[in-house]
Amino acid sequence: MSSPTGADPRPEIHRTADGDWVVAGRRCRACAEPVAYAWPRCPACGAEVEVAHFGPRGTVWSSTVVRIAVPGHTPPYALAYVDLDDGPRVLAHVAGDEPAPIGGAAWLIGASDDGDLQVEVAR
Amino acid sequence: MTVAVAGVGTSHFGRQPDRDLVGLAWDAVSEAFADAGVDAVDAVWVGTVFAPAGVAQRVLRAMGITGIPVLTVENACASGTTAFVEAHEAVRTGRYGRVLALGLEQMSTAFAGAITPETTDPEGRAGLAMPAMYAMSAARYLHTGAATPEQLAAVSVKNHAHAVHNPRAQYSGRYTVDEVLASRMIADPLTLLQCCPTSDGAAAAVLTAADGAAGEVVVRGAALRSGAPWNHRSPHVWGHDIVADTTRDALADAGLDAVTDVDVVEVHDAFTIGEIVTTEALGLVPPGDGGKAAAGGVTALGGAHPVNPSGGLLSRGHPLGATGLAQLAEITWQLRGQCGARQVEGARLGLVETMGGGVSVLDGNACVVTVLEAR
Ligand SMILES: [Zn+2]
């Protein structure tokens, strides 16, 4: 339907001086909720937030491989929900066409050519 | 004031790209009006997700419904049930005397295949199609041992078998678990027969003040919620807690102690894992028993807690905005004893649950739970 125009809603990522990739998100000043997005208020409690960086390491909560046509992406492609250490649950792409092992380690390795958050996983 | 479901109706559900929404809506509204014995209403709530702007007035003027309040609501898969609960509230509070709730959707002309993910949403932009969202839950259930692939498939087998007795359903058939698992993989571990089809359709209900007639179907309770954040702190898979919380609200509104008092249930089974998670979230079965219940016949016609006698979204089809009102039509017919070979014998209390929407970070866009009762 809609083609991807306008601001990119996906998480913003940075490379630290150490060479690690991190998500530049926000943390709630009241309830400590971590969010992968630069939103003005905490989605859990509505309180003020401050800039926070999350990653690069995390754990795979679940994973799948999309095998149907989705505009802007070429199937098959593997996706994982990754719980970043002390951070939010983020959706990331995984190289290959196998699901990532659930419960296994994952770490951010930047963005894919399509601009999607990408992780490498322990297999 | 107690509110009655005075009449219900639906179009046929299926791929109907050569029909238009005017015709589909007329099929549903004319049947609901005839069922209620009325030819006019005081206001209309319309639920739809992808229909073009102005669709409500466009279809209603074709049937002579003009010059009255018309409101269009969107709540993802719960749009039809949202229209219903708002129409119900309008009658209950005396704002209007007789209200039409109408749900409609034409998916076959809007999408080539599955719903295109919304690119202004972060996870939609990243390619998280709805089957993949549910696949994440299914994969998690398989990983923790809360369900097996065969139990997932059992939901599809059951609902397709139920639909054999529903002439309005898009698909039906006697499949085996092996056939379901062998169908084309869509998003691991969900196969084609575990995913709802692309459907067009409309469904409607007329709501009025109850008059106390014997057998009258009334709204016993209703609740609507939008999702709270779903994240690394959530103890359950996506979409569980919003259903559990909304169900608690609806049961309290209905004055029921336990959901197991309900005789028949229609739930949002857009994907097999959805029905398993929902039966657990509703409290129909203990936590972790959803898959076992489907495979063991507990949720089949003739079982202790029949779920989706219509065939559910998996078989009746899932024209988003129409789904909730089709679920309500099925429960209304069940409570009147009009369902023939798919009738739940002696059903007096029925429940409808609809949950949907993939807005990132939320546990679903919306959930609506309604309890109907035959007086
Ligand atoms: Zn907060």
Domains of chain B: 3-111+196-374 (3.40.47.10)
What's the gap in Å between B235 CA and the centre of ligand 1? 18
Cα B301 to Cα B165: distance, rounded to the nearest angstrom: 11
Active site residue B339: no
Closest CA to A36 of A119, A117, A122: A117
Could you tell me if A66 lies within 8 Å of chain B, comparing CB atoms? yes
Question: Could you check whether the bond before residue A56 is cis, i.e. omega within 30 degrees of 0?
Answer: yes
Distance in angstroms (rounded) separating the CA atoms of residues B108 and B93: 38
A75 DSSP assignment: S
> Taking a C-beta distance cutoff of 8 angstroms, is the pair B229, B316 a contact?
no
Mean per-residue pLDDT over chain B, rounded: 97
Between chains, do A73 and B119 touch, taking CB under 8 Å as contact? Answer: no
Tell me the pLDDT band of A3, cut-offs 50, 70 and 90. low
**Residue A1, pLDDT above cutoff 50:** no
Whether residue A116 lies within 8 A of chain B, CB to CB, comes out as: yes
Q: Which of B114, B137, B140 sits opposite A68 (nearest CB)?
A: B114
Whether residue A21 contacts residue A55, with contact meaning beta carbons closer than 8 Å, is answered with yes
**B contact set with A (CB within 8 A):** 50, 110-114, 116-123, 125-129, 131-132, 135-137, 139-140, 143, 184-189, 228-229, 231-232, 237, 360-362
Mind listing the pLDDT tens digit for each residue in B99-154? 999 999 999 999 988 889 999 999 999 999 999 999 999 999 999 999 999 999 99
Cα A11 to averaged position of ligand 1 atoms, centre (Å): 19
Q: Determine the average pLDDT of the residues in A102-116.
A: 95
| Residue labelled with tokens 């359903």 | B169
The string of pLDDT tens digits covering residues A52-75 is: 999 999 999 999 999 999 999 999
**Domain A13-121 class, CATH top level:** mainly beta
A99/B229 CB distance under 8 A: no
pLDDT digits (tens, 9 = 90+) for B327-368: 999 999 999 999 999 999 999 999 999 999 999 999 999 999
Distance A45 CA to ligand 1 centre (A): 4
Helix/strand/coil for B263:
coil
CB B280 within 8 A of CB B155: no
Distance CA A52, CA A38 (A): 10
B356 contacts B268 by C-beta, under 8 angstroms:
yes
pTM (2 d.p.): 0.97
Alpha helices for A1-123 (secondary structure H)? none
Which chain A residues touch B189 with a CB distance below 8 Å? 64
Distance CA B268, CA B76 (A): 12
Residue B196, SS3 per DSSP: coil
What is the pLDDT at residue A114? 84
Three-state SS letters, B148-189: CHHHHHHHHHHHHHHHCCCCCCCCCCCCCHHHHHHCCEEECC
Annotated active-site residue in B12, B88, B318, B367: B318
A74 CB near a chain B CB, below 8 Å? no
Distance separating the N- and C-terminal Cα atoms of chain B:
15
Q: Please, what is the average pLDDT of chain A? A: 95
pLDDT-derived band at A2 (thresholds 50, 70, 90) equals very low
Query: So what's the pLDDT on residue A5?
Result: 72
Q: Give the residue, B110 or B90, on which the prediction is more confident.
A: B90
B236 CA distance to ligand 1 middle (Å) = 20
Predicted local confidence at residue B112, as pLDDT: 83
B236 in catalytic set:
no
Chain B residue nearest residue A9, CA to CA: B122
Identify the residue among B360, B362, B363 best suited for mutation to test binding to A, counting A beta carbons within 10 A and taking the highest: B360
**Amino acid sitting at position B124:** G
Task: Let me know: does A79 contact B128? Beta carbons within 8 Å.
Answer: yes
